Chain A
Amino acid sequence: MISLKAIEFTQGEFCIKDLNCEITQGEYVIIMGNTGSGKTTILEMICGLRTPTSGEIILNNQNVTNLKPALRGIGYVPQDGALFPGLSVRENLGFALELRKFDNEQIAEKVERISKELKVSHLLDRGITSLSGGEKQRIALGRAIIFKPTVLLFDEPLSALDSETHTELCELLKSISEDRELTIIHVTHNINEADLLGDRLIRLQDGKLISTQSNKKDE
């Protein structure tokens, strides 16, 4: 569970004001809002890349407001995937496992398994420069989930993809969220994406939460 309590954040003229929000375990939450409304900043505060000016971030009943990103166990996929340029696809996928001191056999086995699941096995030994946008996002997703985080954050991961790849990846995200019961916060501008994937839609405007709307099909 993620709980944002009275979060305030100020940087220059930009600010987020009194943000309160509860996200339950396994929930898929979509955040929408116009440019500069604070969507990316909220994701960055949750994963520890920014510290709120005041307020608390509670993750699984632990106050993580000042905890380093490495210790939060949150997977993060930014817009362009941000794959590491000097590494092969295999090395990108195994990056988090290597940091966690898994031995080479375990890393190879987990990388093989995730690459099959994401249908990128044939790319493992390639560099990342020759990959298509969809392939890059699949690998960025694999890199983020391979260390089994409980929370995943997506910052417009599908925005630069063609419609066919977009549909494929939407289905992939949906199946991953259902199979693994992950808590997912997904920032997007695409209302179709929001309808298809989200259990709940949160709208932001000028750093304020202006509406929360359930999107569960059975409600």
Chain B
Amino acid sequence: MSQSNNNLNAINSGRLILSDRIFKVCFGLILAFYAILLIGMLAADGFYLIDGAKAGENPILEAISQPEIQNSIYLSLISCSLSAFLSIIVAIPTGYILANSDFKGKQLLDSTLDIPIVLPPLVVGISLLIMFQFPPFTVALSKIFPFFGIEGDKTLNEWVVYQVPAVILAQFTVAAAFAIRTLKVSFEQIDGRHEQVALTLGCSRFQAFYRVVLPQAAPGIVTAWTLAWARSLGEFGPLLIFAGATRNKTEVLSTTVFLEMSIGNLQSAVAVSIIMVAVAFVVLMIARIFGKRGVLI
């Protein structure tokens, strides 16, 4: 190698080392800024609680001991689990079709399914509320489910709006969109050859799906379920409009924070917020662990 090349290498080597350091520092600083923002928010909540607490009192235990908050926790766990379960039931076939089929209007359908993700939460609530007042829809649904009886004791509207079903439906409407998006990506990553070979070996389409495709999608299903569950837990706007925020009736943890704030009980609102953060953190960690390891693979 010539002398000039050696000199060039020496200069470039110094520049490269400096450039690499700048690259690492810049990216690290940006990451640190965001991490500090999030940790700072949670730490501030924690310090606020400790600071405001009377001697010998635990604000979180205080909050949990209130019957209406216990009821809210109970309803949150039930409604989030149900809406996540319903989201998965819808997301598995929908994600599979979007990942594996080509048909006219696919792009339009795909974009339509994203509407709950991009729409302002209050608009989702208003739209659900209007739909359940809209006669063609309510009449059609009452015919499918006659026990709702449009002329009977309770109309479909009375069964759902400002009741627990509205909580689940509002959570499901938004959570399902996230679950579909997750599972579509998951199904896209599965090699279609496996399913084709299964068909030649004697499987029906359904057998090939549940014996070969579904086990490979298991980590995606766990992630989608968790995402739907966490999304349902944080849902507030559609719930307020469509289910209301009635204590001991349609109150879930997100509405508890709102109700406690509205009566000036900031200490309790912060305590419930911390409970929500802890629950969401545990759920997300479980998803990360199972999503990485895979459940059936």
A143 to B200: give the CA distance in the assembly, Å: 11
A82-B191, A82-B194, A86-B296 are known contacts. Are A74 and B212 too (CB-CB below 8 A)? no
CB pair B202 A86 closer than 8 Å: no
A-B contact count (CB 8 A): 60
Within 8 Å of chain A (Cβ to Cβ): is B193? yes
B-facing residues in A137-178 (Cβ within 8 Å): 143-144, 147
Is A217 in the interface zone, CB < 8 Å from B? no
Q: Is A80 an interface residue (CB 8 A)?
A: yes
Contact A70 B197 (CB under 8 A): no
Is A95's CB under 8 angstroms from B201's CB? yes
Query: In the complex the two chains form, is B193's CB within 8 Å of A84's CB?
Result: no
Tell me, yes or no, whether A33 is within 8 Å of chain B by CB: no
Decide if B201 touches A147 in the complex (CB within 8 Å): yes
- Whether the pair A78, B207 counts as a contact (CB closer than 8 A) is no
Question: Is A49 in contact with chain B by the CB < 8 A criterion?
Answer: yes
Cα separation A70 to B208 with both chains bound (whole Å): 10
* CB nearest to B215 among chain A residues: A86
Q: Does B204 contact A (CB under 8 A)?
A: yes
Beta-carbon contacts of B185-209 to A below 8 Å, as 1s and 0s? Answer: 0000001011011111111100100
Size class of the contact patch on chain B: 10 to 19
Contacting A74 at CB < 8 Å: which of B200, B207, B215?
B200
The distance in angstroms between the C-alpha atoms of A147 and B193, with both chains bound, is 19
A86, B200: Cβ atoms under 8 Å? no
Which A36-94 residues have C-beta < 8 A from chain B?
A: 44, 47-49, 68-70, 72, 74-76, 78, 80, 82, 84-86
In the A-B complex, list the 8 residue pairs whose CB atoms are closest, starting with the nearest.
A82-B193, A86-B215, A99-B202, A96-B201, A76-B200, A69-B199, A82-B197, A70-B202
Apart from the given pairs A49-B196, A78-B196, 13 other A-B contacts in the complex at a CB distance below 8 Å: A68-B204, A69-B200, A70-B202, A70-B204, A76-B197, A82-B194, A82-B196, A84-B194, A85-B215, A85-B297, A96-B202, A100-B202, A144-B200
Q: List 19 A-B contacts (CB under 8 A).
A: A44-B196, A47-B200, A48-B200, A49-B199, A70-B204, A72-B200, A75-B200, A76-B196, A78-B196, A84-B211, A84-B212, A85-B215, A85-B216, A86-B216, A95-B198, A95-B201, A99-B207, A143-B197, A143-B201
